[in-house]
């Protein structure tokens, strides 16, 4: 659990759009072994609708319009 005193130890790093895209791309490759464009195409086509693999959810949450 993070307390108020712990919050001083947290470092926030802001990424450029390019750095963010590179990060998402690398996480998709690391977690799912596929490129981001393929994952995004399949995600938006509904191919993962009934998939409960937490790795799929992790990558999906990184997509720019996931929120």
Band of pLDDT at residue 67, cut at 50, 70 and 90: very low
Nearest to 57 by CA among 66, 8, 12: 66
Query: In this structure, what DSSP letter does residue 9 have?
Result: G
Q: What is the pLDDT of residues 3-26, one digit of tens each?
A: 556 667 788 889 999 999 999 999
State pTM to two decimals.
0.76
Band of pLDDT at residue 2, cut at 50, 70 and 90: low
Chain mean pLDDT for the chain:
89
What local confidence, expressed as pLDDT, does residue 38 receive? 97
Residue with tokens 């790093």: 13
**pLDDT exceeds 90 at position 40:** yes
């Amino acid at each position: 659990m993070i307390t108020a005193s712990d919050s001083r130890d947290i470092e926030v790093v802001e990424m450029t759009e390019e750095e963010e895209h590179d990060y998402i791309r690398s996480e998709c490759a690391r977690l799912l072994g596929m490129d981001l464009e393929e994952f995004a195409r399949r995600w938006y086509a509904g191919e993962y609708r009934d998939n409960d693999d937490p790795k799929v959810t992790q990558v999906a949450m990184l997509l720019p319009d996931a929120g």
